[in-house]
Structure 1
Amino acid sequence: MRNRSSLDAAAAENGESVGAAWARRKVGNLLRELREQAGVTQEDAAAFIERHVTTLYKIENGLPGVKLRPKGDIDGLVELYAADEATHRRLTELLALTRLKGPFTRYRDVVSPEFDLYLGLEGSATELVSYEPDLVPGLLQTEAYASAITSLPGGDGRSRPPTEVAKRVALRRSRQSVLTRATDPLRLDVVLSETVLRRPVGGPRVLADQLAHIVAMTELPTVSVRVVRFAAGLHLGYTTGQFIVLRFPEDQPIAYCDGFLGDNYFNKPQEVARYDEAFADISKHALNAADSREFIGQITKETTT
C-alpha cells in the first residue's frame, strides 16, 4: 500500500493522470459519504447547491467534465451536511488538486470523458488485473500494433485521419510509463486468450514483434502475463468478455469494461467481487507464467516462418 508521500510523488510525475483524477474521486467519495451520513437525498442536495441531480451524480462519482465551485458546491454541501472544519479543509485541499494539469491534457481532443476517467484511475492504481480475449492490452502494445488497432473506425463509425491515429498511439505509449515509473510501478497481471496471440493484427511481422515485446515486458518483476489455450475448454471468460479490475492504495477497487458504444464502470463491492471471482476462474485454466512465455515464443516462431 502506498503512503501519502508516495501518492504525491506519483501525482507530481504524472500530473492530471494521477493527481487530479485521484483527488476528484476522493472529493466525490467524501461528499457522498457525508450526504449519506446526513440522510440527505441526491435530489435535495442538488437543489440546495442549485445543481442538476445528474451533475451531483458526476461529482460524487469523480467523473470529469464538472467544474467544482469552492463556494457554491463545497461550502454549500459542507453547510448542508453539517460537516466539521477539518473535513471542510480536507475538501478544499483536494479541490485544489483537481485542477492540476499534466501530460494527458494534450490528448483531450481524442479522449472521451468516460475514458478520461479511466486514464486517471489507471495512473493512480497500484494493481491492475485484466482478462483479454481478443487483443493485447494497451499497456503492452507496440506502436505498430496500436496503430493497426486505432486505425479502425470507432463506435461512431467515423474513419480516423492519420493525425488522430498518431495522437492515439502517442497517448497509449505515454500510458505505458506506469509500468516503469520510479515510484511504485503498477503491478500488472494479465491473462490472454490464445486468440490474442494468433490474431494477425497489422500482419505477421507486426504480430511477431508484438509477441516478442510481451515476453520482454514479463522480465519486469511487476508484470505477469499468462495464456489460456484453446485446449483449456470453457471458463467464465466466455461469459464476461474483456474486463479490468483496478486497485488503489486508499480507495475501493473498480471494475472496468471497454464497450463498443462506451465505457462501463462498476464500483459496488458485490460487482467487483464477481469480476474477481471470474478472474480467479480464468486463471485456473491458464498456463503458468513460465509456460506462457514459452508458448508465446513458439507462436512467435510460427508467425515468422
Structure 2
Amino acid sequence: MTCEANETQVTQIHLLGFRDMYKYKILLFIVFLLTYTLIIGGNLLIILLESSMEHLKTPMFFFLKHLSSADVLLTTTAIPMMLDTVLKEESVISFWGCIVQMHCFGIFGFVQCFIIAVMSFDRYLAICHPLRYSSLMVPNLCLQLVVGSWSLVSVLVSSEIFVVIQFDFCGLNSIDHFFCDFGPVVVLATSDISELIVQDFIIAMFIIFFPFTFIILTYFCIFFTIINIPSTFGKRKAFSTCSSHLTSVCVYYGTLITVYMTPTDESSFDINKYRSLLYIIVTPLMNPIIYSLRNNEFKKAMSKVKNHFFPNQW
C-alpha cells in the first residue's frame, strides 16, 4: 500500500463501539457476556450430543453439528472484541488483525447459507424419496457436501479479501462499529472500490441468492409431497421432520434480509451496527433453542443426559 506524502498509512483500526450507550456499558457487557455463554454452551451441547449419541448420528444432525460449529466460530470471532470495546468504550486492532477478523467472519457467517441448503436437500430426500433416502444420503456424501460448502465459501470470501488488501488505506482509521465488518472497513479505503462492489454483488448472489432459491424449490417439492399424503397422521409426521429446519431457514434468512436488504441512507447508517447484532447474537442463539424445543431426537438425547447426571430427579 502506498500513500501520498501528506497522508499516513493506516496500521491500526479504531473501533468506536456503542458511543451513544456508554452510560449503560456495564449492563451491556453483562448481557452480551451471558448471551455469548448461552450461545457457546447451547451449540457445543449440540456438537457433543451428536458426537456421542448413536441415535443422533444421522445426516441431519451431522449437518446441524457443522452449523453449530459455524455459529461458535462466528460469535467467537466478533463477541470477545465487542466485549472489549464495550468496557473500554472503544478498541484498537491492527490493520492486518482487522483483515483476518473480517476474513474469518465472512467464512463462518456465509458457510451457513450452504449448510442450511444442504440440510434442505436432506429433508427433501427424506420426505420426497423416503425409500431411497438411506442409499442416497450415505456418510461419504454427507462429508463431501460439508467439505464442499466450507471450501467453496472459503475460496469466494478469500478472493474478495485478496482484492481488499490491494487497496490503499490512508488517513482515516476509525469505524463506528464494534468489530471489523466488511462495509465499514472498505469505506476507509482511499482507492477506487467500484470493481469490488460489482464483485461483492456477484459473490453475494452466489453465496446467498442461489442457496436460498434452492431451499425454496426443495420446500415446494416437500410441500406438494406432504399435501398428497392421504392420512392426517402421515402429513403431521412428515411436517414434523422438517419443521425445525424450516424454522432455522426463516430465522437465518429473515436476519439476512433485515440486515442487507433494508435501504440505508446517511441518517440510518448507524443502525446497521445494531442490525448486525441479529446475525452475531440472535441467529446463533436461536438454533439450539429451535432444535431443543421442536426435535424429538434431540429431546431424547437431552433426557438421557439429564437421567445420567440427575437419576433421582423427575
- Taking structure 1 as the reference length, the TM-score comes to 0.23
Q: Hey, which of these two has a bigger chunk of helix by percent?
A: 2
Larger relative contact order, structure 1 or 2 (CA cutoff 8 Å, min sep 6):
2
- Taking structure 2 as the reference length, the TM-score comes to 0.23
